[in-house]
């Protein structure tokens, strides 16, 4: 699978998962924009295509967090989500820099788990991680 097809399949899968959770294009965590792409951190290190991939995957994770937040009105720690998103973004960028772009599909279920865990209980976070794995696997097989 070419890099463009791989990217679109991976993004499509994460978008599908966020849609299953009822996520729209924005949400409470929409303000958690990527900071790592700025100059001085990791800016200019990735190609424009890879940078866009990371940004779009982070946006999908953000929508997942926002959808879960709507189902858990007692959640009051958006800074935790910001930190998880920053960590996921850093790992994605690191894997791409190491030449392991294809590994992102394996990591996304773990990122979904980490984003979900501060908001929902461990069983629900694990369920979402498994669903992410199913959706990504199906998308990449198409």
Domain ranges of the chain: 3-141
Residue 127's alpha-carbon distances to 2, 29, 35, 101, 112, in angstroms, are: 30, 22, 29, 25, 10
Show the tokens assigned to 5.
């097809």
Q: What residue spans of 22-103 are helical by DSSP H? A: 48-71, 78-97
Render pLDDT for 108-123 as a digit per residue (tens, 0 to 9).
Answer: 999 999 999 999 999 9
Q: What is the pLDDT of residues 7-54, one digit of tens each?
A: 888 988 988 998 898 876 444 444 455 555 454 455 567 888 998 899
Higher-pLDDT residue of 75 and 35 is 75
Per-residue pLDDT, 75: 73
| DSSP label at residue 16 | H
Mean pLDDT of the chain: 84
Q: What is the pLDDT of residue 40?
A: 45
Spatial separation of the C-alpha atoms in residues 76 and 78, rounded to whole Å: 6
Tell me the mean pLDDT in the region 60-81.
84
**How far apart, in Å, are the Cα atoms of 41 and each of 2, 54, 57, 87?**
28, 15, 19, 13
Whether residue 2 is predicted with pLDDT greater than 70 in this model: the reply is no
């Amino acid at each position: 699978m070419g890099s463009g097809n791989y990217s679109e399949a991976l993004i499509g899968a994460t978008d599908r998962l966020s849609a299953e959770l009822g996520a729209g294009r924005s949400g409470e965590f929409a303000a958690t924009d990527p900071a790592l792409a700025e100059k001085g951190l990791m800016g200019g290190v990735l190609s424009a295509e890879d940078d866009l991939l990371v940004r779009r995957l982070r946006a999908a994770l953000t929508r997942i967090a926002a959808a879960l937040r709507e189902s858990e009105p007692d959640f009051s720690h958006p800074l935790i989500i910001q930190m998880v998103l920053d960590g996921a973004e850093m790992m994605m960028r690191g894997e791409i820099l190491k030449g392991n772009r294809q590994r992102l599909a394996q990591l996304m279920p773990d990122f979904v788990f980490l984003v979900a865990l501060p908001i929902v209980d461990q069983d629900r976070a694990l369920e979402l991680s498994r669903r992410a794995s199913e959706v990504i696997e199906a998308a990449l097989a198409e």
